[in-house]
Structure 1
Amino acid sequence: MSALEEVFRAEHGRAVAVLTRQLGSLDLAEEAVAEAFAVAAATWPTRGVPPSPAGWVVTTARNRAIDRLRRDAVGTAKTAQLALLQAQPELVDVGAVRDDQFRLLFTCCHPALAPEARVALTLRMVAGLSTAAIARAFLVPEATMAARITRAKKKIAAARIPYRVPEAVDLPARLGSVLAVVALVGTEAHSPAGGDEPTRDDLLEEAVRLARLLVELLPDEPETRGLLALLLLTASRRPARVVDGVLVPLDAQDRTRWSRVHREEGQELVRTCLRTGRPGPFQVQAAIAAVHADAPTWADTDWAQVVALYDQLPATPVVALNRAVAVAELDGPSVGLALVDRIGLDRSPVFHAVRADLLRRLDRPAEAAAAYAAALDRTSNAAERADLEWRRSRLSG
C-alpha cells in the first residue's frame, strides 16, 4: 500500500486537474479520481503497480467518468459532458501558463468564493491534502472544514466559474489566495498533520514548483519571490530536520547539514525583494528565515532583528506565538511565557509545545508535563509525538 500512497500524494492533484479540464466538472473529476484510487487499492496489491501509475490513474478515472455519464446521460448537460470527454478536444489555453494544476489553482481561488473556502478547496483539490490536514492548518474541527469544502464546490458549479488562468488585469485580486494556498502546502509539508513521516518532501517540492510558476507568471510581483524564497529557505533545512528517522527541532539542528543550494537561492531572492522596496507578508517571513539561515547556531541568531521583523507582520495568533518565542530568546523565558499565555491557540499542538518548553526552562516541571500532554493530545503525527515524548522525558521531578 505504500506504493499506492506515494502515487496518491504525487498524482492526485494532477489527475483531478486533468479530469476537470476534460470533464468541465470539478465534482465529477474528484469522484472519478477517487474511484480510480479505490480500484488501485483493490487490484495493485495482487497485480502489482502498473508501469506508468500516473497514466493508469488518469485513464482509469476517465473510464469511470465515461461509465457514470453513460448511466446518468438523461439530460442534455450529461450528454454534452459525455461527448466532451469522449472527443477529448484540445482546449485553447487562456493565460500565460500551460499547466492543468495551475488552471485549477486559479479556479479554486476565484473571488466569488470566500477567502477561507478558496484556500481550503485548493488544498483539497490541487494538493490532495486530507480534510483533517486542512482542518489542522486552519485550526478548526474536521467537520467544519468538510462542510466548507462542500459549499465551495457547490458555489463553483452554481456560479459556473471558468476553468482557466485569469487575464493579467484579474490577477491581483486572485493572487493573495493563491499565495496563501501555496504557503499552506509548504506548511503541511514541513509539519504533516498525521502519519508516520516527519516531513513531506513531495509536498514541499510541489509548493516550490507552484511558487516558481507564480514567479514566472508575475515576474514583477515581489510577494511571489518572497514566497519562493521562504519555501526554499524552509527546504534548505530538510537534511538536518530529520536524522536517522528522528525529528530534530530548529534549535538543535546541525546547520552545516543545511542545503547550501537552497539556502543561497533563497537568500538571493530575499535580497532581490529588499531592493524593490515594496515589502509584504511573505517577503517579511522570508527575511526572518534568512536571519536564521545567516546564523551558524540557534544561540547566534539575531533575535532583536527577528522580533523587529515579526512586528511588521499582521498580528495574528500564529505570528504572536512565533514572536513570543523570539522574545523569550531575547528577554528570557518568563517574558516569553507571559506573551504566550495571552494567545488563544488551544487547538494548536505547537502552542502547547512552546508553552511546555518555556515552563521547562523556568524549572516548573509539573506544569511543563501538563503542557506537553496537551500538545500530544492535539497531534497525530508519529514523528512529532516522538519528539514531544522525548522532551517530556527530560523533565525532572
Structure 2
Amino acid sequence: MVDESLLRALTPTVIGVLGRRGADFAAAEDAVQDALVEAVRVWPDDPPRDPTGWLVTVAWRKFLDAARADTSRKHREVRLEVEPTPGPAEVVDDTLQLYFLCAHPSLTPASAAALTLRAVGGLTTRQIAQAYLVPEATMAQRISRAKRTVSGIRFDQRGDVATVLRVLYLVFNEGYSGDVDLAAEAIRLTRQLAARTSHEEVAGLLALMLLHHARRPARTGADGRLVPLAEQDRSLWNTHLIAEGVDILQAALARDRLGEYQAQAAIAALHADARTAAETDWVQIVEWYDELVRLTGNPVARLNRVVAVGEADGPRAGLAALAGLDPALPRHAAVAAYLHERDGDPVTAARLYAEAARSAPSVPERDHLTRQAARLNAKLRR
C-alpha cells in the first residue's frame, strides 16, 4: 500500500526540481503526475529507499520522453540530453513559490483552486473533478488552461499572499464531496503554508479553518438536515481543534497586525467559547464585525454584523441596521426573516423565509429555509 499523503507532500518539491532543471511549469507538473502514477504501481512491491530521489528521477525521465516526442522542442533537446543525477543538494523546498504561481492573479478563482489542489496538493485530476462534482474532462480542460496561463511566469517571481489565502479559503468553503474532503485538504495546505511563512494572516486563516471545522460534526443531523449554530449539539464540537485554533489566533493577534482572517477567526473563537448559544458574547462579536467591516468593507460582513446586532441589542436594532443594506445581498431575505420572527411578526417572517429559500445557494440551506416557512405557516393556521 502506497502512502498517498507522502506522495502528495513530495509533489511540490519534485515540481520545483524539474523547474530548476529547465522544465516549464506545465511540463514539469505533467511529468510529476505521471511519476506519481508510476509510484502507485511500483512502490507496493519495490519501495524506494529515497522516495524523493526516485520521484525526481522518474519525473525527469517522463519529462525528457515528452520533450523528445515533441518536434517543436527539438532545439531544447541538446540542452536536456544529459540527465543529471538527483541528489540531496538539489532538493529545495519550492512549495511557497508553487502556492504563489498556482494562485496567480491572472487566473480565475476556480482555476487557481484546481491548479493548487493538483500542483501543491498532489491530487489527481479525477479526484479534483469528483470533489467539485464536474466531469473529469471538464476539470482537465480547466487545469490545462490554468497551466497555459501561468506558463510564462518565472518560477522565482514574488507572489501575493492575499491571493493565495483567498484561493485556500475558497477550497475550504467547498467543504466535502466525492472521495476528497476539500475542507480537510484546505487545512492541510494552509498548515503547510503556515510552516513556510510567519505571515500573521496565514495564521489567522488557519485558525479560522480549524475553528469552523471543529463544529462540522454538529452541522448536520442524522437525517442530513442542516442544523443552525444556535441549535447544534456543542458536545459534538472538536475541542482539540478549537484549542489549537485559539492558540494560533492568539499568537497571530499578539503581532498587532490585524487582518480580515484574524478578525473572522476571533468571531469564530467567541462562538466556540460559549458553552450554550445563550452564553454567546454578542457584544464582543459586534465589535469584531466592526473591525472586519473597517478592514474589508465587505457587504457580506455587514450583513453578518446585522445578525450580531440583532442578538446583542434586540431584533429591532438588527432590522434598523439591515435597512441600510442592499436587499439583493445573498441571504438578505433570510436574515430579515429571522429578525422579523424574533420581533413577533410571523406573517412577514414566513413570507421572507419562503423568498430566501427560492434563492438559497445550496439544497440543505434551501430545505432548511423551506421548513422554517412551513413551521410558521402551520402556526398561523391554528
Question: What TM-score, normalized by structure 1, do the two folds share?
Answer: 0.66
Measure the CA separation in 2 of the matches of 1:391 and 1:67.
61
Aligned residues: 339
**1:161 has 2:154 as partner:** yes
**1:187 has 2:165 as partner:** no
Gaps of at least 5 residues in structure 1 are 1-6, 40-48, 135-146
Gaps of at least 5 residues in structure 2 are 45-50, 52-57, 119-127, 134-140
**1:390 has 2:353 as partner:** no
CA deviations 1:291-330 (Å, max 9, x no partner) are 1111112222111111111111221112112111111212
Q: Identity of aligned pairs, percent?
A: 35
**1:371 has 2:355 as partner:** yes
Residue 108 of structure 1 aligns with which residue? 102
Q: Structure 1 residues 12, 82: closer, same or farther in 2, change over 3 A?
A: farther
Measure the CA separation in 2 of the matches of 1:132 and 1:13.
19
**1:319 has 2:297 as partner:** no
Note if contact 2:131-2:180 (Cα within 8 Å) is conserved in structure 1.
no
Show the 5 A alignment for 1:82-231: 92-94=90-92, 97=93, 99=95, 102-110=96-104, 113-114=105-106, 117=107, 119-127=109-117, 153-158=147-152, 160-162=153-155, 170=158, 174-189=160-175, 202-219=181-198, 221-231=199-209
Instruction: Tell me the CA shift for residue 287 of structure 1.
Output: 1.1
Measure the CA separation in 2 of the matches of 1:338 and 1:273.
34
Measure the CA separation in 1 of the matches of 2:170 and 2:207.
15
Note if contact 1:270-1:286 (Cα within 8 Å) is conserved in structure 2.
yes
Show the 5 A alignment for 1:193-272: 202-219=181-198, 221-244=199-222, 245-272=224-251
Measure the CA separation in 1 of the matches of 2:80 and 2:340.
62
Note if contact 1:108-1:118 (Cα within 8 Å) is conserved in structure 2.
no
Cα RMSD (Å): 4.7
Structure exhibiting the larger radius of gyration computed from Cα positions: 2
> SS at the partner of 1:127?
helix
Please tell me the residue identity of whatever aligns with 1:124.
Answer: A
Measure the CA separation in 2 of the matches of 1:351 and 1:61.
51
Q: Structure 1 residues 151, 331: closer, same or farther in 2, change over 3 A?
A: farther
Note if contact 1:232-1:262 (Cα within 8 Å) is conserved in structure 2.
yes
Measure the CA separation in 1 of the matches of 2:62 and 2:340.
56
Show the 5 A alignment for 1:303-314: 303-313=282-292, 314=296
> SS at the partner of 2:242?
helix
**1:295 has 2:270 as partner:** no
Measure the CA separation in 1 of the matches of 2:268 and 2:368.
22
Measure the CA separation in 1 of the matches of 2:298 and 2:304.
10
Note if contact 2:103-2:116 (Cα within 8 Å) is conserved in structure 1.
no
